[in-house]
Chain A
Amino acid sequence: MNRRSELRRYHAHVWDEPIVMQMGQKGERGMMLAEVEDAIKRTVGEAASYIPQNMQRKGQPRLPEMSQPHVLRHYLRLSQETLGMAFNIDIGMGTCTMKYSPQVNEELVRLPGFADLHPYQDEETVQGILEIIYHFARFMSEISGMKEFTFQPGGGAHGIYTNACMIREYHKTNGELDRNEIISTLFSHPADAACPATAGFKIITLYPDPETGLPNIEALKAAVSKHTAGFMVTNPEDTGIFNPSINEFVDIIHEAGGLCSYDQANSNALFGIARAKEAGFDMCHFNIHKAFSSPHGCMGPACGAVGVAEALSEYLPVPIVTYDGSRYHLDYNRPNSIGKVRAFLGNIETVVRAYAWIMSMGSEGLRQVSETAIINTNYLIRKISDVPGVSMAYPKQRIRLDQVRFSLEKLKEDTGVDTDDVARRIVDFGVQEYFTSHHPWVVPEPFLPEPCDTYSKEDIDYWVNIIRRISEEAYKNPEIIRTAPHNQPISKIKVEALNDPSKWALTWRAYLRKHKREN
């Protein structure tokens, strides 16, 4: 069997489901409610009598009216038209760490002992969940070298934002309000620029050296000043390249009076190998929904676990879970805290899963996760190296850690097929699309796979064979790629409408008004 015929046949589910707003019949019900007891009705009377006249809704909302089996059928079909990680070799999504989420952990978060807890319950009644949070924080301290953790931020970007708020508070406490600049690097996630900007900082971005792909230390020296508030950076950056001088960068920022915040979204290759502490960082964040195996859930619920060195723990958002030797407590008494960044304690379901994950991995297991991730990445680089039109960005950096950025510049020059075309074509082979890269594209026509610890040698071989097949197609029949996808429920969308106020429609009612002239 030659390589080409090794690829399986594939076609995505096609259900042609109408939009739910077009479905159902007047009077159908998906859910019945308990009848309010007569005694209650007699005592209180009509509900409307408790709503001021002007506050009563006029007319019913035009929600669908559907029977329960039809609701179930509709959303089951829509679920089938969604390619979850569990169904495919999901190694195209660099920066996302699409790893296996152990099924047993899903059962744990569905237990009433977790799902039916209210966040304001008396501490006495939530000792079990507080114990999990407390111990998970200790695990995270060991993994990072940071002193204390909060799980309040609801995602990676939110964790970065929380760190920016703490940097702000630190300088305010020290009376240094003119420290209003954050330095980042272009290959750090865009949130490392956008979140501190939201927190009120000016952003200075260090561009990568065209040879090494790394930020230039001389540029950093030129960028620091009395206005430097901090440095927010990913390492390895979103190229999979590890900055070996990161501690020197940190020193320069510290000498200038700034704080250093480590975006550890890319931590999957570093468990037990390198930590924030040894590199001198003051604070960091991890994506619990990525490297720590909590599933991605169609974009959340997620957790940006934020850790800080001892000197900064007074700024953490409240409450922090503490332990007095016999009981667990919620500590709100932190006068220099930035307050709250989200309601309650955060998406604690991610913490329960990640706690269970670490309890199933241990120290050796975590180390093995990272070693496997690194071997997988470098194996993928090796296997893809002879695919025509594909080249690795910054080839002098031979070894990559968790992910690797490639370029299809040559493929585009030779065939006209660009990376967006390939991203649309790859889904025709039963794998999730790949992530091109964040903008700006300093690497032309990029793509960024991350073959994390979940994937086997055979998985990687298969994925590379898909890229190989697409490259062959590009040289022989580029039209098939430009018009892709072909094995999906729909063909290419007309993207123009997405930026045209007369055409975009964010709701069905807007669609009817703009496209069907209805109200």
Chain B
Amino acid sequence: MLNELGVKSIEELLTIIPKELRFNRPLNLPRPFQSEFELKTHVEKLLSKNRTCKEYLNFLGGGCWQHYVPAVVDEIIRRAEFVTAYAGNTYSDLGKWQTFFEFQSMMGELLDMEAVSLPTFDWASAAGFAVRMASRISGRNELLIPRTISPERLSVIENFCQPKSAVGHITVESVEYDHRTGLLSIEDLKDKISQRTAAVYFENPSYLGFIESQGEAISQVAHKNGAECIVGVDPISLGILEPPANYGADIVCGEIQPLGIHMNYGGGTGGFIATRDEPKYISEYPTQLVSIADTVNGEGFGFGYCTHERTLYAVREKGKDFTGTTVGLWTIAAAVYLTLMGANGIKEIGEEIIQRSHYAAKLLSEIKGVKIAFTPHFFKEFIVIFEEKSKTTREVNKSLLKRGVLGGKDISTEFPELGESSLYCVTEVHTKEDLERLASSLEEAIR
């Protein structure tokens, strides 16, 4: 090849990079493994230092949840066709596009909405983009958000809201909650909402697990003041919980990780956005929207990007925010998962999660010194408060760890008003025996 190029060595091609910009020593990296066997053994050994949620009994959630991943989902997302494809068009990648459209279609059924976009990085980013959409639609720049939101998710949203000095700045104000139930204070919401409010954002189920039952009242307050109502959801709850569109949500976002995606140390996330199919919403999406399309010879369906002109790819900084490589493979996983579960499966899993999590809460509530907050209306996650101050949550969790249990997420510093508290997550993977083991371990741990 060098002969074809008429050069003697690579150095002649590298002359286009000036000497002062050249790196003039070998990179200092470990000596590589020559064989696949050695490499695999090395990484396996490193990963074997971890203790997994299958070896330990896990009750951590808070935005990434341990659900069962069906074998068919794994089989499909391991196909080299899907693993190694990228940005091909609807002809050479027809199957990818169709799967994306099917994802949007099934999410549309779960959410009772006609417009669903391809997911972005995670729930938090989806919420951030949704807030910016609402700000552009309303022409306003204040966001009201319950104080019960996950502080980490709030941090991502705040990064999307720009500093005060910028044109697109959005002020984030938090709304108080009822410390008995977790529910949003409608009174405080009414006090804080104004003609400057672009959107009211809340979640169902909330970060703290409780079901926000005042959706209709909240959206009415938002709409009366000309603001958009944004609701974040965990879609695995939607077989049994009312879709937010039916209590007034204009924009819905949430996390697809529960839908058949491994936790991957938090790498399994993806955040969807959905709205009504109206140009005022469609034109403000930053993310890609796959539309079905007819073909000239009429042999079945093709697909394409709807209103591509609004994206950075077409108009650079004049596009709506930004998009790019996001979570295509997880989108496929979620599509396969929803197809496998079907109408009945998605309802049953919701019911099962409620029954198991409430059974766990009941067992724990019987332990002296343990209180469950925000009952009885919660889904999958609930707050465990350690009333006796002899041990901190951190100490309780360390003690549980010794017993092979990953206790709930410590939220004592996130919500100091709740005292020593943690957020427990129970799903369909937890059996009666698991929950009883949790109860007996916790009883020992808090002593």
A65: chain B residues within 8 A (beta carbon): 342-344
B330: chain A residues within 8 A (beta carbon): 300-301
Q: Does A132 lie at the interface of the complex (its beta carbon under 8 Å from any beta carbon of B)?
A: yes
Question: Which residues of chain A from 338 to 385 have a CB within 8 Å of any chain B CB?
Answer: 338-350, 352, 355-356, 358-367, 371, 374-376, 378-379, 382-383
Question: Which residues of chain B from 180 to 213 have a CB within 8 Å of any chain A CB?
Answer: 204, 211, 213
Q: Is the CB of B293 within 8 A of A71?
A: no
Q: Does A222 lie at the interface of the complex (its beta carbon under 8 Å from any beta carbon of B)?
A: no
A79: chain B residues within 8 A (beta carbon): 76, 79, 81-82, 95
Q: Does A311 lie at the interface of the complex (its beta carbon under 8 Å from any beta carbon of B)?
A: no
The 10 closest A-B pairs by CB, nearest first: A344-B266, A200-B166, A119-B266, A157-B324, A362-B32, A113-B47, A128-B49, A298-B328, A299-B328, A78-B95
A111: chain B residues within 8 A (beta carbon): 44, 47
Question: Which residues of chain A from 362 to 413 have a CB within 8 Å of any chain B CB?
Answer: 362-367, 371, 374-376, 378-379, 382-383, 397, 399, 401
Q: Is the CB of B239 within 8 A of A61?
A: yes
User: In chain A, what residue has the closest Cβ to B117?
Assistant: A506
Q: Is the CB of B317 within 8 A of A19?
A: no
User: In chain A, what residue has the closest Cβ to B337?
Assistant: A31
A20: chain B residues within 8 A (beta carbon): 102, 105-106, 335, 339
Known: A30-B345, A87-B81. A80 touches B95 (CB 8 A): yes
Q: Is the CB of B99 within 8 A of A78?
A: yes
Q: Is the CB of B83 within 8 A of A433?
A: no
User: In chain A, what residue has the closest Cβ to B58?
Assistant: A118
A362: chain B residues within 8 A (beta carbon): 29-32
Q: Does B165 lie at the interface of the complex (its beta carbon under 8 Å from any beta carbon of A)?
A: yes
Question: Which residues of chain B from 108 to 144 have a CB within 8 Å of any chain A CB?
Answer: 108-110, 112-118, 120-125, 132
User: In chain A, what residue has the closest Cβ to B348?
Assistant: A33
Q: Is the CB of A505 within 8 A of B291?
A: yes
Chain A CB count within 10 A is highest, among B49, B109, B282, B292, for B292
B28: chain A residues within 8 A (beta carbon): 142, 363
B98: chain A residues within 8 A (beta carbon): 17, 19, 78, 81
The minimal Cβ–Cβ distance linking B217 to chain A, given in whole angstroms, is 10
**How far does the alpha carbon of A227 sit from the alpha carbon of B168 in the complex, in Å?**
17
The interface size bin for chain A is: 35 or more
Q: Is the CB of A506 within 8 A of B10?
A: no
Q: Is the CB of A30 within 8 A of B340?
A: yes
Q: Is the CB of A300 within 8 A of B326?
A: yes
**How far does the alpha carbon of A197 sit from the alpha carbon of B316 in the complex, in Å?**
9
A-B contact pairs, 6 of them (CB 8 A): A19-B292, A33-B348, A83-B93, A198-B132, A198-B286, A506-B289
Q: Is the CB of B90 within 8 A of A19?
A: no
A112: chain B residues within 8 A (beta carbon): 52, 54
**How far does the alpha carbon of A371 sit from the alpha carbon of B269 in the complex, in Å?**
36
The minimal Cβ–Cβ distance linking B178 to chain A, given in whole angstroms, is 14
**How far does the alpha carbon of A509 sit from the alpha carbon of B110 in the complex, in Å?**
11
Binding-face segment, B222-230, B302-310, B385-393, B437-445: B302-310
The minimal Cβ–Cβ distance linking A219 to chain B, given in whole angstroms, is 17
**How far does the alpha carbon of A74 sit from the alpha carbon of B262 in the complex, in Å?**
22
Q: Total contacts A to B, CB within 8 angstroms?
A: 699
**How far does the alpha carbon of A378 sit from the alpha carbon of B290 in the complex, in Å?**
37
Q: Is the CB of A379 within 8 A of B5?
A: yes
Q: Does A64 lie at the interface of the complex (its beta carbon under 8 Å from any beta carbon of B)?
A: yes
A367: chain B residues within 8 A (beta carbon): 26-27
Known: A298-B332, A302-B326, A438-B313. A96 touches B87 (CB 8 A): yes
**How far does the alpha carbon of A84 sit from the alpha carbon of B81 in the complex, in Å?**
4
Known: A98-B86, A118-B66. A74 touches B17 (CB 8 A): no
User: In chain A, what residue has the closest Cβ to B308?
Assistant: A498
A342: chain B residues within 8 A (beta carbon): 121-122, 124-125, 156, 269
**How far does the alpha carbon of A363 sit from the alpha carbon of B286 in the complex, in Å?**
39
**How far does the alpha carbon of A349 sit from the alpha carbon of B330 in the complex, in Å?**
12
Q: Is the CB of A122 within 8 A of B292?
A: no
User: In chain B, what residue has the closest Cβ to A119?
Assistant: B266
Q: Is the CB of B54 within 8 A of A116?
A: yes
Q: Is the CB of B265 within 8 A of A129?
A: yes
Q: Is the CB of A51 within 8 A of B354?
A: yes
**How far does the alpha carbon of A109 sit from the alpha carbon of B348 in the complex, in Å?**
30
User: In chain A, what residue has the closest Cβ to B26?
Assistant: A363
The minimal Cβ–Cβ distance linking B337 to chain A, given in whole angstroms, is 8
B83: chain A residues within 8 A (beta carbon): 84, 86, 101, 106, 295, 297
Binding-face segment, A1-9, A242-250, A252-260, A469-477: A242-250
Contact flags A492-510 to B (C-beta < 8 A → 1, else 0): 1111011101001111111
Q: Does A517 lie at the interface of the complex (its beta carbon under 8 Å from any beta carbon of B)?
A: no
Contact flags B227-246 to A (C-beta < 8 A → 1, else 0): 00000000000111111001
A24: chain B residues within 8 A (beta carbon): 342
Q: Is the CB of B314 within 8 A of A439?
A: yes
**How far does the alpha carbon of A432 sit from the alpha carbon of B401 in the complex, in Å?**
50
The minimal Cβ–Cβ distance linking A146 to chain B, given in whole angstroms, is 13
Q: Is the CB of B90 within 8 A of A190?
A: no
The minimal Cβ–Cβ distance linking A230 to chain B, given in whole angstroms, is 14
User: In chain B, what residue has the closest Cβ to A32?
Assistant: B345
Contact flags B357-392 to A (C-beta < 8 A → 1, else 0): 011001000000000000011110000000000000
Q: Does A131 lie at the interface of the complex (its beta carbon under 8 Å from any beta carbon of B)?
A: yes
Tell me which of B90, B167, B305, B356 contacts A40 (CB under 8 A): B356
Q: Is the CB of B16 within 8 A of A399?
A: yes
Q: Is the CB of B21 within 8 A of A278?
A: yes
Tell me which of B27, B87, B349 contacts A299 (CB under 8 A): B87
User: In chain B, what residue has the closest Cβ to A126?
Assistant: B50
Q: Is the CB of A37 within 8 A of B432?
A: yes
Known: A62-B109, A115-B263. A52 touches B342 (CB 8 A): no
A17: chain B residues within 8 A (beta carbon): 95, 98
